[in-house]
Structure 1
Amino acid sequence: MKGMSRQVAEKLLLSCGDLDTLFNESAESWREILGITAPLFDETSREKALSAADAEMAFIEKRGITPLFFTDMDYPARLYECPDAPVMLYFKGNGNLNPHHILSIVGTRKATRYGRDFCADLLGQLSQSVPGLTIVSGMAYGIDICAHREALKNNLPTIGVLAHGLYTLYPSVHRVTAREAEQNGGLLTEYTTQQPILKINFVARNRIVAGMTEATLVIESPEKGGALITAHLARDYNREVFALPGNINQECSIGCNRLIRDNVAALVTSAKDIIETMGWETATRSDVKQQPSLFPEISEKESVLLQILHERGEMQINQLTVATNLPAGEILSTLLEMEFKGLVRTLPGGMFRTTK
């Protein structure tokens, strides 16, 4: 349904229990659940929406695209924490949208040699210190495409967040890089094949770039631009923001210098600045095998989920949402943390079970 926010979808899903029940409910039932009187849709609108969904499913199945509902375990857990996260995403690739470490790199479309060289040096350093780090950007001209290409060159997974459906690529000159990203990362969008390419979509996609990552790095930006929007969104989401300082007389450095001056971003000159601020383990330390704890510390949420899974066996996130009354995003992020600790295991069909 066009215009449905994640909060509305979550409220409907929690009330109905599962997707089948949700889609079979009448418009009147939806209004009662949401506590509103205005009409949501009529039967004609419902049929059109279902027809459009069928056409979309046929397209994505043919192209090997994965649809991600906000309750799916592969939906970006960090993005789910953001209040304006999309209800649906579409992903083409083999990458992990919930990796241990993930960084977005954005910047001007008119990148200079200074910005491109820094991007190349930085990703070379990060690939040695934080192997497996996933790099996210927007597949646009300038710093974006430089970040994707340097990530691929250094064998780092990279995710391109697009402002249009996966039926095309803009700009088309980046098609080769996009195909390479599908083999080590992927392409992600909230837009269907039936939605036209609109200028406003390029602004809207910035929230995904900022929201799905731990931190955002701005490499060159003029006084105004999409990179600054992404930086401020990241700050609003309580994520770390970094910026490369530049020549005060260069237009492409005005935005970065102001982010640093206004304490929106931390100054960065090397990979070490990011690694230390983020508290990321480097390859040297993480390569040392440590004896796993026999009794890992668990949080209250983890304890609740463990008890339910022990009692009921294998369960999906939707079922756990109903059983615990917790938001699906909280459950997903908690389960991911539990998987890192070796407390639960992911099974086919989006099921989870305890390891003991």
Structure 2
Amino acid sequence: MDQQELLSLLALKKAPLIGDIMAKKLIRTFGSATSVFEQKYQDIAAIEGIGEKKAQFIKSKTLFPKAEKELQFIEENKLRYRVYYNEDYPERLQYCVDGPIIFFEKGNVDWSNPYTLSIVGTRQITSQGSAFLEQFMEQIAPLKPTIISGYAYGVDILAHKLAIKYDLQTVAVMAHGLNQTYPRNHAAHNKDMMANGGFVTDFWNDDTFDRKNFLGRNRIIAGLSEATVVIESASKGGSLVTAEIANSYNREVFAVPGRVTDKYSSGCNQLIKQSKAHMLTTAADIPYILGWQERNVAVQKQLFVELSDDEKKVFNHLKQNGQELLDIIALKEQMAVHKVASILMTMELKGVVRPLPGKLFELV
């Protein structure tokens, strides 16, 4: 990219009161970020939503010295940057109206993976939540999804660590510049994170950790993913905000249900009750709802689907015989026809079998 255009993008990103939506509008109007700064003050002010005050900020002489300093940091630290109108910008984030015009990245991140999940939740993860997340990651691992989270305490860091354990690419979206790590003790995982994915942010190196940055961070977490998974959450919290943002992007949301008396299940139960999230009880729910193609059918059946003893009988029968009539299955397995019909329906809902014309059934 032309260095002047990059400096202009950085300057526009730093201009007060000019968010990503307005920055994109300006670039669309004048043709490039560089062209925005070449315009006369009155022409910028005339753009709907800008006005005199914002135009003054854009024409400020302090923006480019700041941009040059940030560019120096990017070059010295060999950071990768991605611009919203370039081909290497993550496709899903391009569809987000408030996606960053530019964000920064370090590590070894590959955005070509079609399977991408964000996993979020409380910082006070319970033993039940940890156990579910461990099982979930083991079961979803054969599909090799990229796991995105926020590197915070609790659910976030456990999701990153489990992704590394199961050799999955994992990306941490930070609420500050990439010259620091927060929480500080999570720096112990930085090396593994860099080897298995990396870190991204749209904050500058001089932007330190601040709670007000969470909303900006959470929009990227939701925007990068096909779906957001909420493991545990109280009735209020950042993970619920991320889920709301994902809904606003028309992305799927999944939430793990829990007892109504459990503090850190209340948020998840609320999402499910309000039809803002699918109920997540097993990793199989993810490819089923999202329509992911199974890369290894035999492995998926074994890992994802829990079958009853009678379902295992029918499964093994179809595995050995291929397509089979319902009545023949009942006869050979010595079960009532109505019982086999019920079993096959349950297995169909689980995505294990599919019906064919003439009462024939086969494994998926």
TM range, normalised to the smaller chain? 0.7 to 0.9
CA deviation map 1:67-93 (0-9, x unaligned): 222212222221222222222211112
- SS of the residue aligned with 1:257? helix
- SS of the residue aligned with 1:193? coil
Pick the aligned partner of 1:108 from 115, 122, 126: 122
Match of 2:332 in 1: none
Q: Write the distance in 1 (CA, Å) between the matches of 2:290 and 2:183.
A: 33
How does the TM-score come out when normalised to structure 1? 0.74
After TM superposition, list the pairs within 5 Å mapping 1:1-356 onto structure 2: 1-34=15-48, 37-42=51-56, 46-128=60-142, 130-131=143-144, 133-284=145-296
1:124–1:36 distance in 2 versus 1, CA, 3 Å: closer
Q: Write the distance in 2 (CA, Å) between the matches of 1:232 and 1:286.
A: 35
How far the C-alpha of 1:112 sits from its partner, in A, is: 1.1
CA deviation map 1:3-31 (0-9, x unaligned): 32333222322333334333333333323
Match of 2:350 in 1: none
Residue 80 of structure 1 aligns to which amino acid in structure 2? Q
Contact 2:18/2:54 (8 A) holds in 1? no
1:176–1:22 distance in 2 versus 1, CA, 3 Å: same
Unaligned runs of 5+ in 2: 1-14, 300-364
How far the C-alpha of 1:142 sits from its partner, in A, is: 0.3
Contact 1:148/1:177 (8 A) holds in 2? no
CA deviation map 1:154-201 (0-9, x unaligned): 111111011111111110111122332222211111110122322111
How far the C-alpha of 1:247 sits from its partner, in A, is: 2.5
Match of 2:348 in 1: none
- SS of the residue aligned with 2:54? coil
Contact 2:44/2:55 (8 A) holds in 1? no
Q: Write the distance in 2 (CA, Å) between the matches of 1:269 and 1:108.
A: 18
Q: Write the distance in 2 (CA, Å) between the matches of 1:209 and 1:257.
A: 21
Identity rate, percent: 37
CA deviation map 1:198-238 (0-9, x unaligned): 21112331111111110011001111111111111111211
Unaligned runs of 5+ in 1: 288-356
- SS of the residue aligned with 2:60? helix
How far the C-alpha of 1:98 sits from its partner, in A, is: 4.7
Contact 1:27/1:39 (8 A) holds in 2? no
Q: CA RMSD in A?
A: 2.2
- SS of the residue aligned with 1:255? helix
Q: Quick one: higher RCO (CA 8 Å, sep 6+), 1 or 2? A: 1
- SS of the residue aligned with 1:23? helix
Contact 1:161/1:187 (8 A) holds in 2? yes
Residue 242 of structure 1 aligns to which amino acid in structure 2? F
1:39–1:265 distance in 2 versus 1, CA, 3 Å: closer
1:38–1:21 distance in 2 versus 1, CA, 3 Å: closer
Contact 2:227/2:246 (8 A) holds in 1? yes
1:286–1:18 distance in 2 versus 1, CA, 3 Å: farther
Contact 2:230/2:255 (8 A) holds in 1? yes
1:26–1:231 distance in 2 versus 1, CA, 3 Å: same
Point out the more displaced range, 39-48 or 103-112.
Answer: 39-48
Q: Write the distance in 2 (CA, Å) between the matches of 1:118 and 1:211.
A: 24
Residue 58 of structure 1 aligns to which amino acid in structure 2? Q
User: Which structure's CA Rg is the greater one?
Assistant: 2
Residue 91 of structure 1 aligns to which amino acid in structure 2? E
Residue 156 of structure 1 aligns to which amino acid in structure 2? L
- SS of the residue aligned with 2:105? strand
Q: Write the distance in 1 (CA, Å) between the matches of 2:277 and 2:231.
A: 11
Q: Write the distance in 1 (CA, Å) between the matches of 2:63 and 2:54.
A: 13
